[in-house]
């Protein structure tokens, strides 16, 4: 039984975050998936952060971080590095509070995500072929412009903000046994884990990510932070390393997450198509990895009440249409691969 112990983010801080960000975010629904529930003989629910105001969970942490800035920090403005969703969240929150925001992104970020960030009034700089190269440029600009960094995941305020999802899940379904959560830098799963393990220590938490460049899982394997080579993936929101100076999320994930699962590009594509066909949901690749793990039969001994966190829905229409067309009849049998492959 895993229980939070020495981390600098407490359940009370997560509750404070829930109160403070409430005027700026949407309490997202938890819906039961009847089709999957019938197939698995369990109650399967989706936590729909793809319906968050900016299309992903990132708005929670970004808002709480910015609300906690000093007046001097607010006057100077903020900067961040993002693969898309975090940048959009920072832009939205900064705009609501009247702050200048500079968003650094790699040149591989989908155009729709860049456009949406610019439309919110932030300045966008694209630099480098990878997330890590964009991050290095962001750190240089931060020093030059004296801006405050809003870290995408490894920050107590960010983690506490994302943890409000855990509070909502418990309020909406206190009898849950298992939660499947997308895993990247670890801010989302760390916050949810701190909240849920505090409220229900015997809950089973699974972190799910793509096979291509799973930085956190590779780090967990060797017991220290390691770098990975970024690769093209449908789960573009999950790309990037966890930071050589990682101070929080690696240790939280290491202590509180019970299991990790890798899913293939084909399995992610099948999950995106399944969400559209069966639940009328638009889900991006990174947001679909938990569902992909269920559909591919990679989740075992999951109990009778399962929640899948659908973390985002910011996917380009042509890409989603292509995936839907290639998966017109997604398999409804657990453990089967989709009939057609998808290569990003």
Question: Is-catalytic flag, 311?
Answer: yes
- What b/e readout covers 316-331, taking b as 16+ CB neighbours within 10 angstroms? eeebbeebeebbeebb
**CATH label of the domain that carries residue 52:** 3.40.50.1100
**Could you tell me whether strands 101-105 and 78-81 are parallel, antiparallel, or unpaired per DSSP bridges?**
parallel
**10-residue averages of pLDDT along the chain (344 residues):** 76 98 98 94 96 97 98 97 92 96 90 86 92 90 96 96 98 97 97 97 97 96 93 92 93 96 98 96 98 95 91 94 86 46 51
pLDDT number for residue 337? 45
Same domain, 235 and 90: no
Two structure tokens written together for 298: 């990679």
User: Count of domains in the chain?
Assistant: 2
Strand partners, 208: 182, 261
Per-residue model confidence (pLDDT) at position 343? 53
Does residue 180 sit in the same domain as residue 313?
A: yes
Same domain, 106 and 200: no
Residues 291 and 187 in one domain: yes
Active-site choice (47, 58, 113, 298): 58
The answer, as to whether pTM is greater than 0.85, is yes
Q: What angle do CA 343, 237, 326 make, to 5 degrees?
A: 30
Domain ranges, residue 259: 11-56+156-326
Query: Do 220 and 113 belong to one domain?
Result: no
Give the CA distances from residue 292 to residues 235, 242, 285, 325, 333, in Å, rounded to whole numbers and listed in that order. 11, 23, 9, 18, 12
Compute the distance between CA of residue 271 and CA of residue 125 in angstroms, rounded to an integer: 32
187 and 301 part of one domain: yes
Active-site residue, 58 included: yes
């Amino acid at each position: 039984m895993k229980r939070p112990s020495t981390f600098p983010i407490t359940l009370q801080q997560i509750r404070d975050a829930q109160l403070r960000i409430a005027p700026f975010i949407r309490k997202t629904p938890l819906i039961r998936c009847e089709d999957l529930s019938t197939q698995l003989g369990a109650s399967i629910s989706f936590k729909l952060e793809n319906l968050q105001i900016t299309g992903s969970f990132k708005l929670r942490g970004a808002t709480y971080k910015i609300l906690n800035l000093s007046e001097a920090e607010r006057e100077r403005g903020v900067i961040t590095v993002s693969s898309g969703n975090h940048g959009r969240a920072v832009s939205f929150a900064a705009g609501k509070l009247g702050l200048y925001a500079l968003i650094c992104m790699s040149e591989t970020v989908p155009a729709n995500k860049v456009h949406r960030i610019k439309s919110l009034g932030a300045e966008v700089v694209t630099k480098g072929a990878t997330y890590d190269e964009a991050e290095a440029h962001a750190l240089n600009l931060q020093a030059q412009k004296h801006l405050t960094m809003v870290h995408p995941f490894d920050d107590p305020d960010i983690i506490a903000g994302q943890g409000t999802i855990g509070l909502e899940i418990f309020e909406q379904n206190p009898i849950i046994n298992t939660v499947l959560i997308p895993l990247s830098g670890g801010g989302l799963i760390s916050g949810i884990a701190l909240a849920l393990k505090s409220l229900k220590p015997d809950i089973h938490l699974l972190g799910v990510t793509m096979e291509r460049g799973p930085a956190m899982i590779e780090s967990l394997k060797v017991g220290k932070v390691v770098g990975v080579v970024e690769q093209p993936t449908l789960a573009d929101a999950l790309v990037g390393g966890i930071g050589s100076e990682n101070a929080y999320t690696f240790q939280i994930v290491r202590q509180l997450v019970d299991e990790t699962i890798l899913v293939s590009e084909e399995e992610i594509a099948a999950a995106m198509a399944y969400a559209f066909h069966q639940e009328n949901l638009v889900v991006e690749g990174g947001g679909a990895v938990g569902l992909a793990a269920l559909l591919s039969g990679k989740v075992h001994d999951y109990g009778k009440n399962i929640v899948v966190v659908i973390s985002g829905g910011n996917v380009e229409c042509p890409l989603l249409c292509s995936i839907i067309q290639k998966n017109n009849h997604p398999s409804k049998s657990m453990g089967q691969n989709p009939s057609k492959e998808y290569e990003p």
